[in-house]
Amino acid sequence: MPSINQNNAYPVTLPDFCNLGVMLRVLVIVNLMGLAAALVRVHGYAAVWGELQQVSLMMQPALLLCLALLCLLKKPLLRLPYPYGVAAVLTLALICVTAVHTLLLNRIFIFEGAGRLDHAWLLTALTTATLLVYFNMRSRILSPAIGEARLQALQARIRPHFLFNSINAVMSLVRSEPQRAERALQDLADLFRVLMKENRELVRLEDEVNLCWQYLELENLRLGDRLQIAWHIDRMPKDAMVPPLILQPLLENAVYHGIEPAAEPGEISVNIFHSRDQVNLVIKNPYLKEGSHHAGNKMAMQNIRERLQLHFDAEARLKCEVQGNYYLVHITLPYVKAEAP
């Protein structure tokens, strides 16, 4: 049997340079390296501020220009094999530094503190290499969340009682409603097919919602009228790209923790809408304050947080709160459109 690391090795790619979190990290790291360069070039702390101003006057325009170009060229850069992408980023950074250095030394912008161009190239290459190594290591550190998601899908999210109860419910329909039993078996097969995939890439939101429909149809076989679903998806952007299995575990938690322990019927509300270049996923289910049925809910939430961070960095958020007799989960992530085939 292959090891977990082999099964779940996350593909190495360039960071998303349009992502706010990536930009902030680049700005912080580059400015720290600029400070280090200023400290190396002077003797005594009294002259550090003046030297830092000299370095920043050239570094900041080149940095902002490079970030803007990297964001504009994000899609073609991400299509390149990783080594070629690294070479392209380094080349672009050197071009930006050269352009800014030339402007600072020409007749319009005379700046004697610009320094030698070869020194600027060396510092640019070192800074670019440091950034790419940092983002590579960060991706490798976060990528186990994908492998953990697959393991949890097999061990925790699809609980044995759900499988057994679904099969028993299908068996009870085989003679009385054979067509419905056939559809239920197809839904069960589709659900497990998705859960056992590697699930590394983003998927269309429409496909994720269809999977949730299939899952809830299976739960409805055994819970009947006790399970009521209110869908609010009129404003859902069907072409939005989301991490796979971002909704199904939340709905399973809603059923397991909010519907099953209650004696009365309960309603799960699913609200998906697009607002200000963001996609909002809101799930609300009954909340019973008594009992131990809340145990185990945090594991799925933490797993989803890690995958949101891996795919969208600081631009995605997950918020959980209790509102009276209801438990609400609100996911906000950037509106990334699916590419046209």
Between the two ends of the chain, the Cα-to-Cα distance in Å is: 36
Supply the pLDDT for residue 157. Answer: 46
Supply the pLDDT for residue 92. Answer: 92
Supply the pLDDT for residue 170. Answer: 74
CATH architecture of structural domain 144-334: 2-Layer Sandwich (3.30)
For residue 272, which of 245, 238, 295 has the smallest C-alpha distance?
238
Q: Report the predicted TM-score, pTM, of the whole model to 2 decimal places.
A: 0.66
Supply the pLDDT for residue 148. Answer: 52
For the chain, give the mean pLDDT: 78
With residue 272 as reference, give the H or E element that holds it.
Answer: strand 266-275
Q: Could you tell me the residue ranges of all domains in the chain? A: 4-141, 144-334
Supply the pLDDT for residue 325. Answer: 87
Place of tokens 């959980």: 320
Give pLDDT < 70 ranges for the chain: 1-11, 41-48, 50-51, 104-115, 142-166, 195-200, 290-299, 340-341
Contact 237, 205 (CB under 8 A): yes
Query: Per the structure block, which two tokens stand in for 218?
Result: 């299976």
Supply the pLDDT for residue 106. Answer: 56
